[in-house]
Amino acid sequence: MKQYHCLVAGLPEIKLDDTKSPFTLKELKEDLKNELSEKDYSVVHWLFLNHDNKNLLSYLQNKEAGFNDLGDLTASDFDSFLKLLNEEEQPEIPELPDYMRQYLQLTLEEDKKQDDVNQADVLNSLYFSEAVQQKNEFAADWFQLQLNVLNIITALNCRKYELPIENYIVGDNEIARALKTNTGRDFGIGGMFDYFDQVVRISEETDFEKKEKMLDALYWNYLEEKSFFYFFTVERLFVYLLQLQIVERWSVLESGNGKEVFLKMVDEMKGNVQFSDEFNV
């Protein structure tokens, strides 16, 4: 297991209640690209793929849409991928993740598309299905936790608004299947998922800002606990990247312009019962 003593030692300490990020995610991404082995960078790269996912969805709606530069793939890349997938049966595209290939192939099969299917949910489901199978056990466990937490929140929201739970659950692990089929108060998973009661409390919180901070606290504390014995490995950098995302997100939301964005997010959530936006890595 490769050690990154200098890189980890040089990272400034960050705390959950920090109001300012010590540097940007973009800067950290460049450092990780330069310092990590190819194998180790592939582990943290899965966190940045979420930005490629959002860029892809924007691209499919509007090819002139702006891209988040935390993603690696460009509009030109997506143009090329779609062209190859449309012209060849099984083209070799090594830079295209398997889950994204599956999603693009679905978009080309017009007869299988359904207007009532949330395309973000489809892409998220494919993304998580592959992410939880990572060879790095720490990363796979993180994606499993995130998937379970957000699926439970989604299921509880569905019950509240009397919506069909099975239409909104992402992925197909044991907890996802229980959420879709079990009608018990705790969906039959209270004893198998340690964070169930905490997630229920988060779901019941009516103040949107407090709810988001409670969710971030759950994630932060989980990461702190699970990474206690990882000191200078890629797992420690994986955790730091996730924690920096939390700090940077709140530093932006609590800024002058960020408050306007935050209020807009709240208004949109009040007026539109959609759950796919919860799946932001």
Query: Residue 140: its pLDDT value, please?
Result: 98
Q: What is the pLDDT of residues 213-270, one digit of tens each?
A: 999 999 999 999 999 999 999 999 999 999 999 999 998 887 655 555 555 544 544 4
Residues of the chain with pLDDT under 70: 110-117, 255-281
Query: Residue 257: its pLDDT value, please?
Result: 57
Q: Is the pTM of this model over 0.75?
A: yes
Q: Which tokens in the block code for residue 220?
A: 């932060």
Q: Which tokens in the block code for residue 145?
A: 């936790």
Phi, psi (deg, nearest 5) at residue 117: -90, 125
Query: Residue 255: its pLDDT value, please?
Result: 67
Sort residue 47 into left (φ over 0), alpha (ψ -120 to 50) or beta: alpha
Q: What is the pLDDT of residues 81-101, one digit of tens each?
A: 999 999 998 899 999 999 999
Q: How is the chain split into domains, by residue range?
A: 5-278
Amino acid at 214: M
Query: Could you give the CA distance from residue 73 to residue 51 in angstroms, rounded to a whole number?
Result: 9
